[in-house]
């Protein structure tokens, strides 16, 4: 058991070295040799933990995704037992944007992962399935919000899901300094306000009529 724990920890250390290579030098330098150098180990030692660049990148992406999920979980926990769906969606969206150091690292690994997916069929399928699973979660949140009266019933949950996910496109604009972080947050908040305010107002009015 101790050897298994050490092995996993070493793989995590190598993954963090990979993150640093991507952040500091760019995707073009994402090679096994460069990552080994950054991790302070030999090329052969790294291959003991990862047999290929593909395996190394997939593990690094999984680690970044896991850490992002943990951050989302902590932030949702701060919202209380029954958080408003608008707040849940805001947490999920903002954690996908490069608004702080950890999110920036995850964003750049994700970019490297997607670029690799365009050339590697195995990673393409893996990346597509992961994104599709996340999309299902967002759509279900919107459907539930419509059913609970938080979003107007005339909104199409599929279209709204697409529009919400499109907001993650701010990642590139933030990274290239086209849009500031606060401006991106303002756009996200205003979109969510427009999506939810109308439904909540209608729901409140219906509840008022029912009580009278």
- pLDDT tens figures, 137-164: 999 999 999 999 999 999 999 999 999 9
Alpha-carbon gap, residue 157 to 138, rounded angstroms = 9
Q: Identify the pLDDT of residue 210.
A: 41
Q: 208 or 63, which is more confident? A: 63
Decide if 158 contacts 139 (C-beta within 8 A): yes
The pLDDT assigned to 101 comes to 86
pLDDT score at 24: 86
* 175/105 Cα distance (integer angstroms): 11
Q: State pTM to two decimals.
A: 0.82
Residue 29 is classified by DSSP as: G
30 pLDDT more than 80? yes
Q: Would you tell me how many other CB atoms lie within 10 Å of the CB of residue 185? A: 16
Helix (H) or strand (E) holding 4: helix 2-25
Mean pLDDT of 124-141: 94
Structure tokens at 2: 């101790």
CB atoms within 10 A of CB 206: 11
88-92, 105-109, 145-149: segment of lowest average pLDDT: 105-109
- What integer pLDDT is reported at residue 141 of this predicted model? 96
Other Cβ atoms less than 10 A from the Cβ of 118: the count is: 9
In order of start, what are the domains of the chain with their CATH numbers?
A: 1-51 (1.10.10.60), 57-211 (1.10.357.10)
Residue 205 tokens read as: 């009015």
- Residue 203, pLDDT above cutoff 60: no
Question: If you ran DSSP here, which 8-state letter would residue 99 be given?
Answer: -
Nearest to 161 by CA among 184, 131, 193, 138: 138
Q: What's the average model confidence in pLDDT over 57-77? A: 93
């Amino acid at each position: 058991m101790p050897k298994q724990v050490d092995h996993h920890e070493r793989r995590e250390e190598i993954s963090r070295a990979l993150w640093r290579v991507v952040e500091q030098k760019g995707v073009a330098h994402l090679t096994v040799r460069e990552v080994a150098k950054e991790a302070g180990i030999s090329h052969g030692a790294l291959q003991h933990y990862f047999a290929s660049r593909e395996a190394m990148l997939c593990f690094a992406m999984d680690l970044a995704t896991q850490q992002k999920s943990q951050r989302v979980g902590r932030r949702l926990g701060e919202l209380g037992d029954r958080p408003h769906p608008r707040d849940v969606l805001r947490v999920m969206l903002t954690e996908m944007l490069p608004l702080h150091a950890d999110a920036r690292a995850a964003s750049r690994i994700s970019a490297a992962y997607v670029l690799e997916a365009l050339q590697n069929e195995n990673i393409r399928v893996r990346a597509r399935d992961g994104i599709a699973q996340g999309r299902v979660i967002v759509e279900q949140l919107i459907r539930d919000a419509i059913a609970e009266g938080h979003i107007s019933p005339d909104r199409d949950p599929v279209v709204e899901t697409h529009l919400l996910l499109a907001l993650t496109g701010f990642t590139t604009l933030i990274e290239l300094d086209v849009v500031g972080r606060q401006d991106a947050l303002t756009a996200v908040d205003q979109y969510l306000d427009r999506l939810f305010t109308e439904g909540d107002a209608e729901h409140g009015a219906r509840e008022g009529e029912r009580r009278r």
